[in-house]
Amino acid sequence: MPTRRELADVIRVLAMDAVQQANSGHPGAPMGMADMAEVLWREFLKYNPANPHWWNRDRFVLSNGHASMMLYAVLHLTGYPLSMEEIRHFRQLGSRTPGHPEHDLAIGVETTTGPLGQGLANGVGMALAEKVLAAHFNRPNLNIVDHYTWVFLGDGCMMEGVSHEAASLAGTLALGKLICLYDSNGISIDGKVVGWFTDDTPKRFESYGWQVIRDVDGQDGEAVAAAIRAAQAHTARPSLICCRTEIGFPAPTKGGTAKAHGEALGADEVAAVRKILNWHEPPFVVPERLREAWNGEIKGRAAEQRWQELFARYRAAHPDLAAEFERRMQSALPQNWPQVRAKSFETAAATSGAQATRQSSQNVLNILTAELPELFGGSADLTGSNNTLAKDVKVLTPGDFSGSYLHYGVREFGMTAMMNGMSLHGGLVPFGGTFLTFSDYARNAIRLAALMRQRVILVYSHDSIGLGEDGPTHQPIEQLSSLRLMPHLHVWRPADALETAVAWSALIERIDGPGCLVLTRQGLPQVAATAKPDHIARGGYVLLDCKGTPESIVIATGSEVGLALDAVKAAQSQGRRVRLVSMPCTEVFDAQDEAWRESVLPSKVVKRLAIEAGATGLWWRYVGSEGQVFGIDEFGASGKGPELFKKFGFTAENVTKLVLESAR
């Protein structure tokens, strides 16, 4: 039987050689963490390489994603469908081994990492999802949801603020089956971290309520194994295992220095490492006896088989619950979804009088949460403002995970990265709220949701200067257009109750991507109550048409649709042929077929006016060079909402003037 060290050295050599071959990448972290990886994957992690989708597998997150070659080496060695050919093509266009791990469950990559710190927050979300699903589904002696979440992370992750947000909440929630191994090598890109990172990390995590296992020799497999056993013995709190390692070990001149972090070691150093490790194989060749010892297929199949038997017993005892568990893990909507959706539309369309769309959103949630237990809500300490807590929804508390709503505290970035983790875990559809302007705090996690195409729903209220007295710090200006620039993200800014209901259903039905719901604080008239929901669902539609070919088209979103409607009616009453288009979601509109887009915005009508209480930039593509955009390209001001709208020209009088001008 090979020794632990020999098995770990396979990772070291593969990482070093793959980076050398690509002449690009990060050899140091994989070489330093090789022993930690060997212990975790060969002794503790529960996985089946033949079925990376197995619902009750342990989740593994490589938060220091630059160590991607460690993950690829381990996935290859344990028997996931990741060939040596792919490792040879590390970092090459079209390979399954990109520079940083990209969510690819078919080969066992659970989440996209690289932006430091977020992997830890993903892991917290996964560990939370495990607790919630266990509370929803487990029955005495039938724990069908029962797995660990493991995270490897480095100094960079620890320095990032998001690690504080996520670890702090993980401690409060006592996510005891979250076990994190910290690669503490004292090095980051600029050199020895003592110049910029001297926190007492163990104390910091202890203060969050974690179990901290300090000062473990991360290159001593037995010591790491003992630490993991200690972590598992105590599942009342999440665990942090602080592993001292040497970056790039055992490279003789670059090891222990930042030189090993992010570039190929060079031919001489690679040869020297081979000598030190007594490694005689050419690159990308692994001796059979080491391969055999690494392979996890037999063990994995047996582990899943045991769970399948458990699940069969569960199904026999609780057939309905078993079917519901399968439905949720498969991201399928319940059978009565068409009726639920119809009810939410009917209720919304019956709304009378002015209503803020954040309130409309809550009314929709009152209907949806009662029928879709997978909806898992929350807010970054703005529950009463975002209106994200529906009636009869139980709030999750540290001792009781049967709730479906979490008070995330003031942690927009952590919340969003956790929601990504929950969505990746499966079984939950997370939605979470904050003010639109603070979406910037969460921005990179939104980006990763989009990159990974996760069904994460971001509820952003207080969507314009209309929020009033809180002033320019709280008034979003560029956020709307800026979010719309993000690939795969759907940004819905509904104009009234019915558009809000349609936006919710569109985001719930869209299983392959995230979306934002951008909502007002102030009341809005019901302008689209008689529109057809399937027209609204196309992202842009004719809300009010004129007789004959329009002289001009007015396009508006959200709170400006009501204003535009009055102005267009006024223009029509003066004999102008003006059409009004409501455009709640530009991305969805852009994805419609040519016939629909042309029917809404006929290309021959070049006089167009877009109106939105935000940055104008993006609208030029819809109005063209002969058009006009009326928006706000400066920061707002502190004052009452209606007065601000007046100050910035969003009045019936001014908008009517603009509409009349557009038709001239």
Q: Which are the catalytic amino acids?
A: 412
Contacts of 569 (CB under 8 A, 6+ apart): 544
Q: Which residues contact 351 (CB under 8 A, 6 or more apart)?
A: 360, 363, 496, 497, 498, 526, 529
Q: Which stretch binds ligand TPP (CB under 6 A): 109-117, 230-238, 283-291, 646-654?
A: 109-117
Question: Does 156 participate in binding ligand TPP (rule CB under 6 A)?
Answer: yes
CA dihedral 301, 307, 312, 313 (to 10 degrees): 140
From the CB of 63, what's the least distance to ligand TPP, in Å?
9
Is the separation of the CB atoms in 416 and 516 below 8 Å?
Answer: no
Q: Answer yes or no whether residue 99 interacts with ligand TPP by CB under 6 A.
A: no
> Is the CB of 185 or the CB of 362 nearer to ligand TPP?
185
Q: Is 66 in the site for ligand TPP (CB under 6 A)?
A: yes
Between 154 and 494, CB nearer to Mg ion: 154
Taking CB atoms within 8 Å and a gap of at least 24, the contacts of 395-404 are 396/132, 396/173, 398/172, 398/173, 398/174, 400/135, 401/128, 401/131, 401/132, 401/134, 401/135, 402/132, 402/135, 402/136, 403/132, 404/132, 404/369, 404/373, 404/375, 404/376, 404/377
Q: How far is the CB of 187 from Mg ion (least distance, A)?
A: 5
> Any idea what DSSP says for residue 57?
S
Binding site partner of 562, from ligand TPP, Mg ion, none, Cβ cut-off 5-8 A by kind: none
Q: How far is the CB of 516 from ligand TPP (least distance, A)?
A: 22
Counting DSSP H helices and E strands in the chain, the numbers are 27, 20
Under rule CB under 6 A, residue 115 binds ligand TPP: yes
Decide: is 64 part of the binding site for ligand TPP (CB under 6 A): yes
Q: Which positions touch Mg ion (CB under 5 A)?
A: 154-155, 185, 187
Q: Which does 64 bind (CB under 5 to 8 A by kind): ligand TPP, Mg ion, none?
A: ligand TPP
432: nearest Cα among 382, 390, 379 = 379
What character string, x for contact with ligand TPP (CB under 6 A) and - otherwise, covers 319-338? --------------------
Nearer CB in complex with ligand TPP: 156/209: 156
Separation between Cα atoms, residue 102 and residue 121, nearest integer Å:
16
Taking the least distance from each CB to Mg ion, the nearer of 185 and 359 is: 185
By CB under 6 A, name the one of 17, 35, 58, 155 that touches ligand TPP.
155
Q: Which of 542, 558, 561, 560 is nearest to 550 (CA)?
A: 542
Residue from 106, 189, 342, 350 touching ligand TPP (CB under 6 A): that is 189
Residue closer to Mg ion by CB (options 195, 353) is 195
- One-letter amino acid at 272 equals A
Q: How far is the CB of 38 from Mg ion (least distance, A)?
A: 19
Burial group, residue 427, by CB count within 10 angstroms (0-12, 13-18, 19+): buried
Q: Does 91 bind ligand TPP (CB under 6 A)?
A: no
Distance CA 536, CA 588 (A): 10
Min separation Cβ 192 and ligand TPP, Å: 11
Alpha helices (H) along 582-651: 586-590, 594-600, 620-623, 641-647
Cross-strand pairs, 580:
544, 554
| Smallest distance from ligand TPP to CB 154, Å | 3
Rule CB under 6 A: is residue 256 a binding residue for ligand TPP? no
Q: Is 606 in the site for ligand TPP (CB under 6 A)?
A: no
Which of 52, 79, 101, 114 lies at the binding interface for ligand TPP (CB under 6 A)? 114
**Minimum distance of ligand TPP from residue 244's CB (angstroms):** 12
Q: Please count the residues of the chain.
A: 664
If you ran DSSP here, which 8-state letter would residue 179 be given?
Answer: E
Closest distance of CB 30 from ligand TPP, Å? 9
Give the one residue of 240, 247, 459, 480 binding ligand TPP; rule: CB under 6 A. Answer: 247
Residue 29 interacting with ligand TPP (CB under 6 A): yes
Minimum gap (Å) between residue 158 Cβ and Mg ion: 9
Residue 15 token pair: 């990482």
**Site stretch for ligand TPP (CB under 6 A), options 125-133, 183-191, 393-401, 644-652:** 183-191
Residue 432 engages ligand TPP in binding (rule: CB under 6 A): no
Assess 185 for contact with ligand TPP (CB under 6 A).
yes
Which of ligand TPP, Mg ion, none does residue 540 bind to, with CB < 5 to 8 Å depending on kind? none
Binding span for ligand TPP by CB under 6 A among 152-160, 471-479, 578-586, 634-642: 152-160
Residue 28 touches which member of ligand TPP, Mg ion, none, C-beta under 5-8 Å by kind: ligand TPP
- Distance, in Å, from the CA atom of 417 to the CA atom of 419, rounded to the nearest integer, reads 5
CB of 182 to Mg ion, least distance (A): 10
Contact range with ligand TPP by CB under 6 A, out of 180-188, 214-222, 539-547, 626-634: 180-188
Cβ-contact 178, 124 below 8 angstroms:
yes
Determine contact, residues 40/75, Cβ cutoff 8 Å. Answer: no
Q: Total residues contacting ligand TPP (rule CB under 6 A)?
A: 17
Token pair recorded at residue 381 = 């300490």
Judge contact between 254 and 265, C-beta under 8 A. Answer: yes
User: Where do we find the tokens 């809000």?
Assistant: 500
Give the nearer residue to ligand TPP in terms of CB position, either 181 or 372: 181
CB-nearer residue toward ligand TPP: 66 or 455:
66
Query: Which of 57, 91, 244, 261 lies at the binding interface for ligand TPP (CB under 6 A)?
Result: 261
Applying CB under 6 A, the span of 35-43, 184-192, 406-414, 597-605 interacting with ligand TPP comes to 184-192
d(CA 520, CA 359): 9
Q: Which residues contact 332 (CB under 8 A, 6 or more apart)?
A: none
Selected binder of ligand TPP within 37, 167, 187, 424 (CB under 6 A): 187
Contacted entry of Mg ion, ligand TPP, none for residue 131, CB cut-off 5 to 8 Å set by kind:
none
Amino acid identity, position 471: G
Bridging pattern class, strands 552-556 and 608-611: parallel
Residue 243: CB atoms within 10 A of its CB come to 25
CB neighbour list of residue 280: distance below 8 Å, 6 or more residues apart: 274
CA distance 332 to 429: 11
Q: How far is the CB of 565 from ligand TPP (least distance, A)?
A: 44
* Nearer Cβ to Mg ion (244/411): 244
Q: Does 28 sit near ligand TPP (CB under 6 A)?
A: yes
Q: Please give the residue ranges that form the binding site for ligand TPP (CB under 6 A).
A: 28-29, 64, 66, 114-116, 154-156, 160, 185, 187-189, 247, 261
